[in-house]
């Protein structure tokens, strides 16, 4: 049997789901292939923090664009997606971190992101359980949290209602040159292919410059009202950037259910999903500096997941050279829930050859030469 | 606090006690850990020593043997919640946390009741058959209360006998399996006088209570509290006024700790060889966590595991000869009390399946795997980690539960941390 589509999306994580919905809404004939459960891999492991980050101008542009797209979508999202515009508090531990807080404040403000600086007492008022030794924080009120697997499922279902075809529990074995072969021998013919297979993307598109970065998360029992904002330590980026060693940073998220989700750790070159209790220890100790009471709360479970990272911490969004039908959307590292919507928009812009709201080049896969990819 | 032992036994039921005694009698330092405040597990819970008969299957006998072993250190009231690395168990008692180190481990974590959802099953006073027994043991007044006992398995008779002994008004016992299966079962145990005597004793102790096979509960009525239970035999249904419905559908092994430790699971039981060795080196498993086989089998397996873990392979192998007969009984049990397919369609769309997260059947039935349902409906994500709904859905939808994630019971965040040095020998990478 043969089928013809305008675009076939490989993988129904949050990125594939967002693409499927965006392309279908643009009137394209779309198919999505998912080997397991929709949103069942990195998307199920992630924290679902919709956050503007300023590691680089390109990262800022992509995350801000996405954050606004989520805000636009929010009123249409069903209850079970748990979208909550709780805002982010970037917390400074000591006076040495205050200049960085100032810099971040000025940067966000100059680019039109509403922000507010809280001093020590303002911070205690906002989050009474925080340690009083903390000196201040930057509040980004437009950041949000959501439950990402539900968001992925919702987007796929919307796309299906508008005519997209879902191939569930089918594995892509080969894709390229306008053809996608599934493990049940079904051959899909299509003008374009979007590889959104997350950590498995290289199995279909070889030589992608991506690496896995393991992360641990801990979820607690229900403590309604324990905290109100997503809280992240200002030193997060310094820690997130350490490529040589395992790193841990304070990152706490209130869930709609009253549960708390505690992150976060980053480890390169660990392939197993084993819960490393020494990493857990580091996470809990780190968190305790910010919220002394936290360590007595009851943990329900701990899990791990893999972020897919590129050398410059920016995703690969766009065409693959040498195959006019082939596109990728991978490597979103710790921001794929946030940036999924912008990713879909940028790809559609390329399909329709229209100008994007933000420049495409920083995310173009061709920025890494082949030799670099092999390094 | 850290304690180190040559052998740690998790579970203080018959299997655990037998294992601990057998190992300590070989001169090993042994710890026995159970979350209950005293030894006995499910069947001997709350029994005291020096009471009644004293043969080698009686609690008196084993409690005394346990007491007489100076090499056994008892940790009753302690629950194992995590196994952070090979050689380390974490245990907790009201927020206090200790670490138990072992060279060899015997898991004797037993079994629990299986619950199936049906309309009204979450009403107060609808409880497990074993659960109501536990509650009576810890003081629930049951005298003259009307109790309907329903579900499946030998436990129904045992509990009915117990309740009657405590002057409850046991209205009737409903066993879902057919008379034919029960007759085959009786035929199958004629070769084992002990089982036959035990069976007849229960029949005697429940004499006069109407016992019906081929019947099962389909709903309960009541506003805030149970008022009546509706029973069906497939063609007819009738309603019985009652104060309690004691309802469990046979037993399922507790495999969570074994699974966390990386031991291979075969279907729903921990896989072991004839010396009770699991797939993980130096970890043994005995009793009902390897399959539902009754008291004698738990005792025998416990003794085998105790000897084998202490290095007495000859002794263990000699005992293992007796396992065959017990295994036949276990498979007879499984066949007899296999659940009928009618039980799969008891839920209505609004029947809650996951009690922790309040997830109704209609939401779950839109999914085609446990993982998908869990991820998208939160079913099984609550404090019990799917021990109840996961077990039910295994039967209802044929779903295989997700791999277990630590901790196996909720525990304070601080108690989950482990120093890196202690993880060096970890070979739990799964
Ligand atoms: C611990 C942790 C915390 C995080 N926190 C956040 C956060 O707070 N905010 C944020 O924005 N991001 C966060 N992230 C990152 C985010 O989770 C990921 O970037 C995002 O989920 C990636 O989505 P994806 O669709 O690319 O990948 P995935 O969700 O992995 O989806 C890929 C899909 O492709 C399917 N697939 C693979 N191979 C095949 C094949 N051959 N055939 C068919 N299907 C296939 C897979 O089954 C899978 O469903 C976090 C990540 C981790 C690990
Ligand atoms: C609710 C219930 C009631 C029963 N009542 C009867 C009865 O009246 N008569 C009868 O003949 N049979 C009864 N049985 C059957 C009975 O289980 C077996 O006959 C026999 O007791 C099995 O022995 P065992 O040692 O294998 O397991 P169990 O007796 O189940 O012992 C396992 C022990 O391990 C402990 N444990 C498990 N996990 C942990 C952990 N993580 N940390 C600490 N401790 C842990 C449990 O608390 C339990 O005490 C009952 C079973 C159940 C489930």
Q: What is the pLDDT of residues A296-353, one digit of tens each?
A: 899 999 999 999 999 999 999 999 999 999 999 999 999 999 999 999 999 999 999 9
Question: How far lies A281's CA from each of A260, B317, B407, in Å?
Answer: 17, 43, 14
Per CATH, B2-112+252-333 and B115-249 having the same topology is answered: yes
Which chain B positions have a beta carbon within 8 Å of A296's beta carbon? 95, 412-414
Q: Report which protein residue has its CA nearest ligand 2's atom 21.
A: B43
Pocket test for ligand 1, best of A55, A197, A310 (most atoms within 8 A of CB): A197
Task: Say if residue A54's pLDDT is above 60.
Answer: yes
Which homologous superfamily is B2-112+252-333 in?
FAD/NAD(P)-binding domain (3.50.50.60)
**Per-residue pLDDT reduced to its tens digit, B115-162:** 999 999 999 999 999 999 999 988 999 999 999 999 999 999 999 999
CB B306 within 8 A of CB B287: no
Task: For residues B12 and B63, give the distance between their C-alpha atoms in angstroms, rounded to a whole number.
Answer: 10
Q: In the prediction, which pLDDT does B51 show?
A: 56
Task: Say if residue B352's pLDDT is above 90.
Answer: yes
- Quick one: tokens of B144? 């003259």
The CATH code that applies to domain B115-249 is 3.50.50.60
Mean pLDDT of chain B: 92
Which is higher by pLDDT, A242 or A302?
A302
Q: Is A114 on the interface with B (CB under 8 A)?
A: no
Mean pLDDT of A267-280: 90
Cβ-nearest to B406 among A282, A298, A301 = A301
- Quick one: tokens of A349? 């812009």
**Per-residue pLDDT reduced to its tens digit, B12-66:** 999 999 999 999 999 999 999 999 999 999 989 877 655 566 788 899 999 999 9
Query: Could you tell me the residue ranges of all domains in chain B?
Result: 2-112+252-333, 115-249, 341-397
Task: For residues A298 and A124, give the distance between their C-alpha atoms in angstroms, rounded to a whole number.
Answer: 23
pLDDT category of residue B422 using cuts at 50, 70 and 90: low
Q: Report which protein residue has its CA nearest ligand 1's atom 35.
A: A11
Which chain A positions have a beta carbon within 8 Å of B414's beta carbon? 284, 288, 295-296
Q: In the prediction, which pLDDT does B49 show?
A: 58
Question: How far lies B192's CA from each of A105, B69, B187, B325, B326, in Å?
Answer: 80, 31, 10, 9, 10
- 8 Å CB contact of B95 and A302: no
In chain B, positions 347-386, which contact chain A (CB-CB < 8 Å)? 369, 371-372, 375-376, 378, 381-383, 385
**For residue B407, is the peptide bond before it cis, meaning its omega torsion is within 30 degrees of 0?**
yes
Give the domains, in start order, of chain A with CATH numbers.
2-46+148-209+312-373 (3.50.50.60), 88-141+211-309 (3.30.9.10)
Task: For residues A139 and A123, give the distance between their C-alpha atoms in angstroms, rounded to a whole number.
Answer: 9
CB A143 within 8 A of CB A228: no
Cβ-nearest to B413 among A36, A44, A295 = A295
DSSP assignment letter at B340: P
Task: Say if residue B260's pLDDT is above 60.
Answer: yes
- 8 Å CB contact of B413 and A44: no
In chain B, positions 64-93, which contact chain A (CB-CB < 8 Å)? 82, 84-85
CB-based burial, B185-224: b 16+ in 10 Å, e otherwise: beebbeebeebeebbeebeeebeebebebbbbbbbbebee
pLDDT category of residue A237 using cuts at 50, 70 and 90: low
Pocket test for ligand 2, best of B110, B114, B257, B406 (most atoms within 8 A of CB): B110
B33 lines ligand 2 (CB under 6 A): yes
Mean pLDDT of B187-194: 83
Q: In the prediction, which pLDDT does B421 show?
A: 60
B14 lines ligand 2 (CB under 6 A): yes
**Per-residue pLDDT reduced to its tens digit, B70-116:** 999 999 999 999 999 899 999 999 888 999 999 999 999 999 999 99
Pocket test for ligand 2, best of B8, B9, B11 (most atoms within 8 A of CB): B11
Which protein residues are within 6 Å of ligand 1, measured from CB? Answer: A 10-16, 33-36, 40-43, 45-49, 171-172, 196-200, 203, 215, 217, 263-264, 305-307, 330, 332, 334-338
Best residue in B92, B96, B99, B375 for a mutation probing chain A (most A CBs within 10 Å): B375
Ligand nearest to the CA of B127: 2
- 8 Å CB contact of A153 and B376: yes
Mean pLDDT of A79-98: 95
**A270: closest chain B residue by CA:** B429
Q: What is the pTM of this model?
A: 0.93
Atom of ligand 2 nearest to the CA of B112: 53
Which chain B positions have a beta carbon within 8 Å of A262's beta carbon? 413
Mean pLDDT of A161-186: 97
Question: How far lies A62's CA from each of A66, A129, A325, A360, B233, in Å?
Answer: 6, 33, 24, 10, 63
Task: Say if residue B204's pLDDT is above 90.
Answer: no
Closest CA of chain B from A221, distance in Å: 7
Q: In the prediction, which pLDDT does B194 show?
A: 80
Task: Say if residue A243's pLDDT is above 60.
Answer: no
Task: Say if residue B201's pLDDT is above 90.
Answer: no
Task: Say if residue A127's pLDDT is above 50.
Answer: yes
Which chain A positions have a beta carbon within 8 Å of B383's beta carbon? 221, 300
pLDDT category of residue A240 using cuts at 50, 70 and 90: low
For residue A332, with 0-12 CB atoms within 10 Å meaning exposed, 13-18 middle and 19 or more buried, which class applies? buried
Mean pLDDT of A358-369: 94
Other C-beta atoms closer than 10 Å to the C-beta of A352 total 10
Which is higher by pLDDT, A375 or B363?
B363
Q: In the prediction, which pLDDT does B425 show?
A: 42
Q: Is B193 on the interface with A (CB under 8 A)?
A: no
């Amino acid at each position: 049997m043969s089928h013809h589509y305008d675009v076939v999306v490989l993988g129904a994580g949050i990125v594939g789901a967002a693409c499927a919905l965006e392309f279908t809404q643009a009137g394209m004939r779309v198919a999505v292939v998912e080997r397991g459960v929709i949103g069942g891999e990195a998307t199920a492991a992630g924290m679902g923090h919709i956050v503007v980050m300023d590691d680089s101008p390109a990262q800022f542009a992509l995350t801000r664009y996405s954050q606004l797209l989520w805000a636009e979508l929010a009123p249409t999202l069903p209850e079970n997606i748990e979208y909550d515009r709780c805002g982010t508090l970037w917390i400074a531990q000591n006076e040495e971190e205050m200049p960085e807080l100032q810099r971040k404040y000025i940067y966000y403000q100059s680019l039109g992101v509403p922000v507010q600086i809280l001093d020590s007492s303002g911070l205690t008022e906002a989050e009474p359980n925080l340690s009083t030794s903390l000196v201040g924080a930057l509040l980004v009120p437009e950041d949000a949290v959501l439950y990402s697997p539900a968001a992925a499922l919702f987007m796929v279902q919307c796309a299906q209602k508008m005519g997209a075809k879902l191939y569930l529990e089918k594995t892509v074995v080969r894709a390229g040159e306008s053809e996608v072969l599934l493990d049940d021998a079904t051959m899909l013919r299509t003008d374009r292919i979007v590889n959104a297979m997350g950590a498995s993307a290289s199995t279909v598109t070889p030589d992608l410059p991506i690496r896995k970065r393991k992360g641990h998360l801990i979820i607690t029992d229900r403590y309604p009202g324990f905290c109100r904002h997503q809280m992240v330590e200002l030193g997060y980026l310094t820690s997130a950037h350490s490529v040589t060693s395992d790193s841990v940073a304070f990152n706490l998220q209130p869930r709609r259910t009253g549960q708390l989700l505690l992150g976060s750790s980053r480890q390169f070159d660990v392939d197993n999903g084993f819960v490393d209790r020494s990493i857990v220890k580091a996470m809990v100790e780190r968190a305790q500096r910010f919220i002394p009471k936290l360590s007595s709360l009851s943990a329900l479970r701990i899990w791990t997941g893999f972020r897919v990272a590129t050398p410059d911490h920016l995703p690969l969004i766009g065409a693959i050279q040498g195959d006019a039908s082939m596109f990728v959307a991978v490597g979103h590292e710790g921001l794929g829930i946030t940036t999924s919507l912008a990713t879909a928009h940028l790809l559609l812009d390329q399909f329709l050859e229209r100008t994007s709201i933000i420049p495409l080049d920083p995310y173009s896969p061709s920025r890494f030469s082949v030799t670099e990819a092999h390094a | 606090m850290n304690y180190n032992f040559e052998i740690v036994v998790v579970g203080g039921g018959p299997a655990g006690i037998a294992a601990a005694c057998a190992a300590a009698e070989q001169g090993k330092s042994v710890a026995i850990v159970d979350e209950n405040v005293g030894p006995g597990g499910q069947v001997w819970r709350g029994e005291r020593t020096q009471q009644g008969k004293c043969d080698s299957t009686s609690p008196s006998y084993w409690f005394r043997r346990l007491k007489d072993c100076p090499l056994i250190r008892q940790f009753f009231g302690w629950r194992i919640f995590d196994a952070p690395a090979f050689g380390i168990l974490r245990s907790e008692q009201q927020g206090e946390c200790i670490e138990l180190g072992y060279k060899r481990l015997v898991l004797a974590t037993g079994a629990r009741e299986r619950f199936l959802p049906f309309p009204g099953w979450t009403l107060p006073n609808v409880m497990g058959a074993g659960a109501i027994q536990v509650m009576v043991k810890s003081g629930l007044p049951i005298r003259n209360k009307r109790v309907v006992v329903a579900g499946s398995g030998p436990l129904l008779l045992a509990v009915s006998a117990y309740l009657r002994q405590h002057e409850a008004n046991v209205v009737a016992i409903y066993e879902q399996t057919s008379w034919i299966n029960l007759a085959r079962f009786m035929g199958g145990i004629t070769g084992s006088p002990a089982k036959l005597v035990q069976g007849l004793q229960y029949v005697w102790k429940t004499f006069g209570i109407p016992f019906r096979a081929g019947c099962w509960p389909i709903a309960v009525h009541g506003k805030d509290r149970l008022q009546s239970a509706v029973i069906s035999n497939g063609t007819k249904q009738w309603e019985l006024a009652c104060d309690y419905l004691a309802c469990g559908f046979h037993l399922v092994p507790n495999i969570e700790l074994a699974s966390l430790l990386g031991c291979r699971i075969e279907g729903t039981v921990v896989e072991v060889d004839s010396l009770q060795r699991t797939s993980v080196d130096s970890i043994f498993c005995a009793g009902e966590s390897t399959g539902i086989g009754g008291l004698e089998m738990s005792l025998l397996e416990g003794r085998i595991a105790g000897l084998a873990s202490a290095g007495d392979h000859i002794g263990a192998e000699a005992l293992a000869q007796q396992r065959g007969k017990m295994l036949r009984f276990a498979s007879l049990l499984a066949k007899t009390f296999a659940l009928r397919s009618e039980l799969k369609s008891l839920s209505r769309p609004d029947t809650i399946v996951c009690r922790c997260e309040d997830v109704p059947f209609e939401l779950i039935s839109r999914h085609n795997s446990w993982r998908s349902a869990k991820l998208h409906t939160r079913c099984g994500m609550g404090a019990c980690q799917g021990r109840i709904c996961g077990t039910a859905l295994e039967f209802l939808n044929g779903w295989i539960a997700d791999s277990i994630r630590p901790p196996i019971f909720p525990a304070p965040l601080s108690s989950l941390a482990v120093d890196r040095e202690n993880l060096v020998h970890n070979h739990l990478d799964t």
